[in-house]
Amino acid sequence: MLILSWIMRVLVVLIGKSLRIKNIGTIPDSSVMYIFWHSDFFPLIYANRGKNISVLVSTHKDGEYLSRIISPLGYKAIRGSSDEGGGRGVLKILRSNNSGIAIAPDGPKGPANYVKYGTLKVAQLTGLSIVPVGVSVESQITFSSWDKFRIPIPFSRCTIYWGKPIRVKESNEEIRIMVETALIKANEKAFSSDG
């Protein structure tokens, strides 16, 4: 696992350096909760390295693998799940002093492109605004995994769209759909702005 994690980290850096990354929207200068689809992890890891962002990582074996990839790149890996609600992962986040929290709301196992209630609970408990982050990559390799995980092809154009902060004060289906729709639109904006 150690060697595989090192290889993947090297790939993230090498491919990331080659990407032509364009940011659209306002990147928050205060602590917020970033959400993005699980399939878009790869370019975001490189683009936001060294910012001391805490990433909520699965307690499963694949979470350990991801932790080993992102920690040397300046992230704080917090083992837990947004599905735990008030569980260990959330309590660790509440205690952490960081520049923001990153969560894939459809992880760790799907369904893809679906914002789970746990994400809203984390936002409520931390008091952080949710910022939807959309990603578009010009050329990529798409895997047959549940999330259709994507790895950019070197030297591709990559657009990252930073949505407007959303304040979450309660968890219900209306709010969940509102947050999910905002993330879908952020991705649509990234795709329409690519090029």
pLDDT computed for residue 32 by the predictor = 93
Closest Cα to residue 18, out of 157, 134, 151, 150?
157
pTM summary value: 0.91
Tell me the average pLDDT of the chain.
88
pLDDT computed for residue 85 by the predictor = 46
CA–CA separation, 92 and 33 (whole Å):
14
The total domain count for the chain is: 1
Q: Please report, in angstroms and rounded to a whole number, the separation of the first and last CA atoms in the chain.
A: 37
Task: Look at residue 59 and give its three-state secondary structure.
Answer: coil
pLDDT computed for residue 150 by the predictor = 94
User: 149 is in which domain, residue-wise?
Assistant: 2-193
- pLDDT, tens digit (0-9, with 9 covering 90-100), for 185-194: 999 999 998 6
Looking up tokens 């408990």 gives: 125
- pLDDT, tens digit (0-9, with 9 covering 90-100), for 43-101: 999 999 998 898 988 777 777 888 899 999 999 888 876 555 445 666 667 666 567 89
Closest Cα to residue 23, out of 143, 118, 158?
158
CA–CA separation, 21 and 36 (whole Å):
17
pLDDT exceeds cutoff 80 at 23: yes
- Residues in CB range of 52: below 8 A, 6 or more apart: 74, 75, 76, 98, 99
